[in-house]
Structure 1
Amino acid sequence: MRYFDIILVLLLGVVVSHGIARLLQGRVALPLVQIALGALIGLTGTFAVDLEPELFFVLFLPPLLFLDGWRVPTEELSHNAGIVLSLAFGLVFFTVLGLGWLVHVLVPAVPLPVCFALAAVLSPTDVVAAGAMVANVPVPRRMLRILEGEALFNDASGLVCLRLAVAATLMGSFHFWDALAELAWSALGGVFIGAALTWLVSSAKSWVVSRLGEVTSSQIIISLLIPYGAYLVADRAGCSAVLAAVAAGMVMSRLEVRGLVLPITRIRRTTVWETVQFTLNGIIFLLLGEQLPSVLANINASMAEDGHRGFGWLGLYIAAITLALAVLRFVWVTAIVWIRHPGGGPIPSRPDWRLVTAMSVAGVRGAVTLAGAMSIPLTIADGSAFPARDLVIFIAAGVIVASLVLANLTLPGLLRGVALTAEPDETQRALEARIEVAQAALAAVATAETGHPAPESGFVAAAALVTGDYQRRLTQLSSDKDATQPEDRADIAKTVQEERGLRLLALRAERAAVIGMVRQRRISTDLARILLRETDLAETYYVSPAGTP
């Protein structure tokens, strides 16, 4: 019953925290509200969760990373691939080296490998926290995509660095080339396993559906199992389970726009995944807050034996490390801007310091950092306690909260009125796509009307009605004015079935046109997803009893 009670309290906390955040009208970011509420729950003393890092990773990371990889626009990610990879890997290594030495200077009593372990758990940003922090802030589209892409991939490099630092602490040695080979195998193997498993499952699912038909509930369950399968298989193979889940989501994004599932399945699956995301995101930050009182108690108990100098000094350590993380990001992002645009290009040679600073403070840390810190083993090879483990966990938790507070206080001011670089006009592209799909629907109706063996008055009237609707839509899209005219349905009272069939035919032609455009890379997967959802909703209406025209 205890675990059942915990689940109920966490679910209630998710709902309550969203209500509090709405009452605060965005002045305090949702993750901070949830952390504070979680801390209050932890202080009650009657609610304690033994957070097992491995279980935490398996339960929460696969679906969230899968969903982020599924929804991230692959076109924009590939366009920003250079910057994203430099942040996800280069900045992580830069941070581990720079921050590791800084921590050793601040706290000389902590062994250098342990300092690097702390730097490793703090180096990756959190995709969940980053998205939540900028939810109510007007962020340049490209900056948002870069932050999302960075957070998708840097968990892998950060966790590899953590394993190496822990191994150096346990064994007392470090081999550079072995570390490099492990990183390459981890990254490439994880991506391959995630992509291959998703493709195999989707292919097998399509084969079964083509012979037995599609069951919506089964398809949704399969989509929920794919990220866990990719994560666990990659983990067993010694590869990056994080990248496997991300790659699985990115492949699913490409498969989704092929229209291989029923419209009702896509609609219900989207609803289920939105609920999963809403719930897991909230539980993560509630658990993070709930752990803070116990982390504080542990550091208080071990402070004397570890030789630390009191909570005041620990607060200074947290502030210094949080500031150092922002400075290291600032230096790295500035260097990228200078290298990519030394002058004479479309972007000025002098970077916008407000935008660079916003990129620096927007790299917030989240629950993965705390779970990574808590995954550090209790003992080393000789059986003695792992040095300064409680200190590492305490500083990691403090930096998470401090980075969120810093972003919450500074991002709105930094991004208010910032000069943005030119971005592609999605509105014009969407308008052109809508015109093309409407023309495809008209062509399908015209073909059906021409090929009808013996056109009856009812069929002709239904075809005229459907054609008229699409022609009015084209007129409205072309002139950007409302050209809708009242419909005269008196003459088609006996053409219900004919009209429904023609509308379904037209909608399927629209869907085929959308799939064709995205396969030819003429529209983005984001736009294709929007257009497909519109056709799915319309088709679901016409195939249901309520859809009687």
Structure 2
Amino acid sequence: MGLLAAVVASGTIARMLPAALPLPVSLVQIALGALIGSFGALRVELDPEVFFLAFLPPLLFADSWQIPREGLLRDKWTILKLALGLVVFTVLGLGPLIHWMLPVMPLAVCFALAASVSPTDPVSVQAIAGRIKVPTRMLRILEGEALLNDASGLVCMRVAVIAALTGGFSLSSALSLFLWLSLVGIALGIGVTLLITRVAAWIRRHFGEESGSHILISVLTPFAVYLLAEHFGGSGILAVVAAGITMSYAELMGDQGAGTRIRSLAVWDAIRFATNGVMFVLLGEQMPGIFTAALSQSRDHIGWPLPLVALIIVLALAALRFTWVWSSLRITVFRSRRRGVPAPQPPVFLLLAASVAGVRGAVTLAGILTLPLTLPDGSPFPARELAIFLAAAVILLTLVAASFLLPPLIRHLHLPEENELAAQEAAMRVQAAEAAIQAIGKEQHAMAEGRQDTDLYAEVSARLMDLYRRRLEGTAASETDAATNRRLVEIERELRLAAVRAERETILRAARRRRINDEVRRKLIRELDIQEVRFLSMAGR
């Protein structure tokens, strides 16, 4: 209850902040969690395995389910280079730097720390994007990278931990481990999700649809694939991501009812809101204990101040990311020009924004908390508290840096507007309206055949066809006078919203005076709510 209350309070506090202080709600949640964690009796003892199971499957499943598939396919090579190549590049570059600053930390532990901070976090990326207007294509690349680089980062960390425990390292073992984790996780994620969706579709066709059961199936799916993948030695994270993407393809079958889809989206919005918020509050709760343990251990060594070490790590992460992105884009431009395709140089503000946008989050903390407590001989695992402190500090610093540095960098970006989606939407509206007119005509003749009141069918179908024809005329007008048409649509939308709100208030007033019963009131209000959501979505609100 306390965690959820902090989540609710964080949203209110974030909305109260002035526009000049663009803090994402995730930072507010971390601060509230640290306040709760300062009282030892209220602090939650965080088990990393439980943390992974309880929070990551639903969040990663929802993100991969709803991320546009076209964006993943269009920029697949860019995303893969960031999710795989950049992770290895970061681990190899950051590990020796940490060991140079903190000789007390063994090199293998330094590599484990570097691996834990190498993957970006999809939840943190979404938290930043909710407050800052990030260009659409850049946001899709960041989301795709964050969904896929968790596995590579955690595999690198597992290899480093094995080296710390055994004192040895094998490149062939590391590669085989990565392949096994990836293949098993992806195969189980796709296979189990396809099986679940096919069985659910068969049940719907033969026995009808029950919204509650099918929504519960979608909620349980990410946990099922995660547990199965972990049981068979695969990557549960990759299994969940593969399951979410597979679910988005299964939706194309269109065999679900409209009511189930509406309720499912509402349920998943609530799950994402609650688990996302609780995850960051829990992250803040761990901070006081992590800081206390790290400070007590830091007295045993003479070296750089820990806050300065954390800052240098964040700067090194940004520099490594900048170098990787710059090199990748230069190679892409060079190859395009060799093929005779004109390719402009990427603007420096784009490179800087991409470097700052590499936000770390809960995956980093959960990964570093899995460090063993002891070595095989029973002695304490070296520098464990220091590594956890630095990982937590990196999470905070990257969130703060992205919150304050991304807005000015993005404002200096002059990227071409992406009109492709608007053109697709307009064309699809025309095709859908034409198909609706044809379907109305066919259905009218079929329904009126052999009946006496054929004029009623003709009157109703003519009225509906006229509605769709006016929609077609509005779409055609947008091609010649876009500004006027947008203004007309905006005026119509505001008038319709005013009408819907007036209807709702009339119904509620009647209900307060007990002139209608609750069942009638709920039905009418739900219809009006759906209309209002539709009109608001036309404005992108």
The two structures have a TM-score, normalised by structure 1, of: 0.84
Q: 2:58 aligns with which of 57, 63, 82?
A: 63
Q: Equivalents in 2 of 1:155, 1:260: separation in Å?
A: 33
Contact 1:164 1:179 in 2 (8 A): yes
Name the CA distance, whole Å, in 2 between partners of 1:108 and 1:145.
39
Q: For residue 466 of structure 1, what is the amino acid of its counterpart? A: L
Cα gap change, 1:332 to 1:205, in 2 (>3 Å):
same
> Which sections of structure 1, spanning at least 5 residues, go unmatched?
1-7, 486-533, 542-549
| Code of the aligned partner of 1:23 | M
Matching residue's letter, 2:182? A
* Residue 319 in structure 1 maps to residue 311 in structure 2: yes
Cα distance change, pair 308–346 in 1 and its aligned pair in 2 (3 A): farther
SS of the counterpart of 1:479? helix
Q: CA deviation at 1:299?
A: 1.4
Residues 21-72 of structure 1 show CA distances to partners (whole Å, capped at 9, x for unaligned) of 1111452121111111111111133311000000000000001100111011
List aligned pairs for 1:42-53, cutoff 5 A. 42-53=37-48
Q: Is the 8 A contact 1:338 1:349 kept in 2?
A: no
Partners of 1:261 and 1:37 in 2: CA distance? 40
How far the C-alpha of 1:136 sits from its partner, in A, is: 2.3
Distance 1:81 1:287 in 2: 33
Aligned to 1:82: 77
Q: d(CA) in 1 for partners of 2:12 and 2:342?
A: 42
Q: Does 1:463 align with 2:455?
A: no
Distance 1:131 1:373 in 2: 22
Q: Establish whether residue 433 from structure 1 lines up as the match of residue 431 from structure 2.
A: no
Aligned mate of 2:475, from 471, 474, 477:
477
Match of 1:411 in 2: 406
The percentage of counterpart residues that share the same residue type is 44
Instruction: Please name the residue that 1:160 is paired with.
Output: 155
Post-superposition offset of 1:450: 2.9
Q: CA deviation at 1:108?
A: 1.4
Q: Which residue of 1 aligns with 2:9?
A: 16
Question: d(CA) in 2 for partners of 1:427 and 1:356?
Answer: 27
Partner secondary structure for residue 46 of structure 1: helix
Displacement of 1:346 in angstroms is 6.7
**1:187 is aligned with what amino acid?**
S
Alignment of 1:127-526 (within 5 A): 127-305=122-300, 307-309=301-303, 313-342=305-334, 344=337, 348-421=343-416, 423-451=418-446, 452-454=448-450, 456-480=454-478, 481=485
- CA drift of 1:348 comes to 4.6
Listed as ranges, the matches of 1:538-549 within 5 Å are none
The amino acid of 1:465's aligned partner reads R
| Alignment partners' CA distance in 2, 1:421 and 1:85 | 24
Shift of 1:138: 2.2
What does the per-residue CA deviation read over 1:378-420, in whole Å, with 9 as the maximum and x for residues that have no partner? 0111111111000000000111101111111110111113121
Residue 528 of structure 1 is matched in structure 2 by none
Q: How high is the TM-score relative to the length of structure 2?
A: 0.86
Q: Distance in 2 between matches of 1:25 and 1:63?
A: 32
Cα distance in 2 for residues equivalent to 1:363 and 1:31: 15
- Cα deviation digits, residues 212-259 of structure 1 (max 9, x gap): 111000011000000011111111111111111011000111111321
Q: What is the alpha-carbon distance in structure 2 between the residues aligned to residue 409 and residue 537 of structure 1? A: 37
SS at match of 1:340: helix
Which deviates the most, 134-143 or 102-111? Answer: 134-143
Q: For 2:316, give the aligned amino acid.
A: A
Cα separation, 1, equivalents of 2:14 and 2:459: 53
| Conserved? CA contact 2:23–2:131, under 8 Å | no
Give the aligned partner of residue 29 of structure 2.
34
1:267 touches 1:537 (CA, 8 Å); kept in 2? no
Separation in structure 1 between the aligned mates of residue 123 and residue 400 of structure 2, nearest angstrom: 15
Residue 285 of structure 2 aligns with an amino acid whose one-letter code is E
Q: Distance in 2 between matches of 1:54 and 1:44?
A: 24
Asked if 2 retains the 8 angstrom alpha-carbon contact of 1:347 and 1:421, the reply is no
Q: Is the 8 A contact 1:364 1:400 kept in 2?
A: yes
1:25 to 1:302, Cα distance in 2 relative to 1, 3 A: same
Post-superposition CA distance 1:490-537 (Å, at most 9, x none): xxxxxxxxxxxxxxxxxxxxxxxxxxxxxxxxxxxxxxxxxxxx9x96
In structure 1, distance between residues paired with 2:321 and 2:64: 23
Distance in 1 separating the partners of 2:41 and 2:166: 40
How far apart, in 2, do the equivalents of 1:135 and 1:261 lie? 30
Count residues with an aligned counterpart: 481
Bigger Cα displacement from structure 2, 199-208 vs 26-35 = 26-35
Q: Is the 8 A contact 2:349 2:412 kept in 1?
A: no
User: What is the CA-CA distance between 1:124 and the residue it aligns to?
Assistant: 0.3
Q: What SS does the corresponding residue of 2:299 show, helix, strand or coil? A: helix
Structure 2 gaps of 5+ residues are: 479-484, 493-526, 535-541
Q: How far does residue 426 in structure 1 lie from its aligned partner after superposition?
A: 1.0
Measure, in 1, the Cα distance between the counterparts of 2:318 and 2:349: 13
Q: What SS does structure 2 have at the residue aligned with 1:14?
A: helix
Distance 2:66 2:324 in 1: 27
